[in-house]
Amino acid sequence: MRSFINSLIVLLLIIMAAILYFKEYKPKTERYDNLKREEKELMDELNRLKVKIDSLTPKKNDKITKYSLEMIKSELKLDSIRIWESDMSVKLEVDEGRIFDKGKRIPTEKGEKILYKLLSNVSKIGGDITIEVLLGENPKDYEIKIKRAIEIMNRLIKNHSKDENNVKISVYRTQKGLEGINIELE
């Protein structure tokens, strides 16, 4: 009798496990598999759309070819001009301390050569040029930094034949230590 009851209990457990498997577990795993498949299809479609959108919208620095960028880097390496690249632009840091005398807007003799080399390389690239003036916490420096940026802009237009519609100055107030002048190629 005992073995009969044990067999019956085991049979009932097997039947309950089968019912749970087919009623609860299997539908949920099938639903999960379907969701994973849908997610993969959606990701594939999103990636296709992203590639299509990227191909339709030109990046700003498409005008800056790898060749011209490498040329700028090799030309300006000796003058320790820092260069930042992104998908949208290239920025060149103007080392004011090496180009201008303290408190003056006109470059020094050595600075004249560095600035000429920098601007002649920058002017070879098509597209817009933004001269960014980053103003720190000292208001006494504001006027001279803006005058230096105007001097750089005028030299680009007059000495390097850059169209005045393609050159602009942007002024930003920044945190301490981030002040200076950058040239952004777009």
Q: How far does CA 75 lie from the centroid of its chain?
A: 24
The answer to whether residues 91 and 178 belong to one domain is yes
What pLDDT score does 169 carry?
A: 92
Task: Profile the chain (186 residues) by mean pLDDT over runs of 10 residues.
Answer: 84 87 84 89 85 65 61 68 73 82 86 84 80 86 89 88 87 79 82
Q: Which domain holds residue 43?
A: 1-57
The answer to whether residues 50 and 71 belong to one domain is no
Q: pTM score > 0.85 for this model?
A: no
The DSSP annotation for 16-44 comes to HHHHHIIIIIHHHHHHHHHHHHHHHHHHH
Tokens representing residue 99 in the block:
């180009």
Domain tally, the chain: 2
